[in-house]
Amino acid sequence: MRISSFLLLLSTSLACTGPKNNTEALSVGSSYKTVGSVLRVDSVVNSLIPEGAEIEVLASGFEWSEGPLWLADQNALLFSDVPTNKIWKWTEKDSLTLFLEPSGYLGTETNKKEPGSNGLALDAEGNLILCQHGERRIAKMNATLTAPKADFTSIVSDFEGARFNSPNDLVINKSGQLFFTDPPYGLDDWNPKELDFQGVYRLDTDGSLSLLLDSLNRPNGIGLSPDQQTLYVAQSDAQKARYYAFDLDQNGDVLTGRVLLDVTSTVGDDHPGLPDGLTVHSSGVLFASGPGGIWLISSEGKHLGTIQTGQGTSNCTFDADESYLYMTADAYLMRIKMN
Give catalytic status of residue 214 as yes or no.
no
The DSSP symbol for 271 reads B
For residues 277 and 217, give the distance between their C-alpha atoms in angstroms, rounded to a whole number.
16
Assess contact for 121 and 69: CB atoms under 8 A.
yes
Residue 189 in marked binding region: yes
For residues 106 and 3, give the distance between their C-alpha atoms in angstroms, rounded to a whole number.
23
For residues 223 and 85, give the distance between their C-alpha atoms in angstroms, rounded to a whole number.
24
Residue 66 in marked binding region: yes
Q: Which of 227, 276, 319, 330 is catalytic?
A: 276
Buried b (16+ CB within 10 A) or exposed e, 68-83: bbbbeeeebbbbbbbb
3-state percent helix, strand, coil for the chain, nearest multiple of 5:
5, 45, 50
Residue 322 in marked binding region: no
Q: What angle do CA 190, 196, 197 make, to 5 degrees?
A: 115
For residues 266 and 22, give the distance between their C-alpha atoms in angstroms, rounded to a whole number.
34
For residues 326 and 316, give the distance between their C-alpha atoms in angstroms, rounded to a whole number.
5
Each as own residue / partner, the long-range contacts of residues 199-207 (CB below 8 Å, 24 or more positions apart, any chain) are 199/159, 199/164, 200/231, 200/233, 201/156, 201/159, 202/177, 202/178, 202/252, 202/253, 203/138, 203/155, 203/156, 203/177, 203/178, 203/179, 204/177, 204/252, 205/175, 205/176, 205/177, 207/156
Side-chain half-sphere exposure of 160, counting CA atoms within 13 A: 7
Residue 330 in marked binding region: no
Residue 220 in marked binding region: yes
Side-chain half-sphere exposure of 241, counting CA atoms within 13 A: 21
Task: Note if the bond before 167 is cis, omega within 30 degrees.
Answer: no
Binding residues: 66, 168, 189, 220, 276
Binding residues for a divalent metal cation: 66, 220, 276
Binding residues for substrate: 168, 189
Active site residues: 276
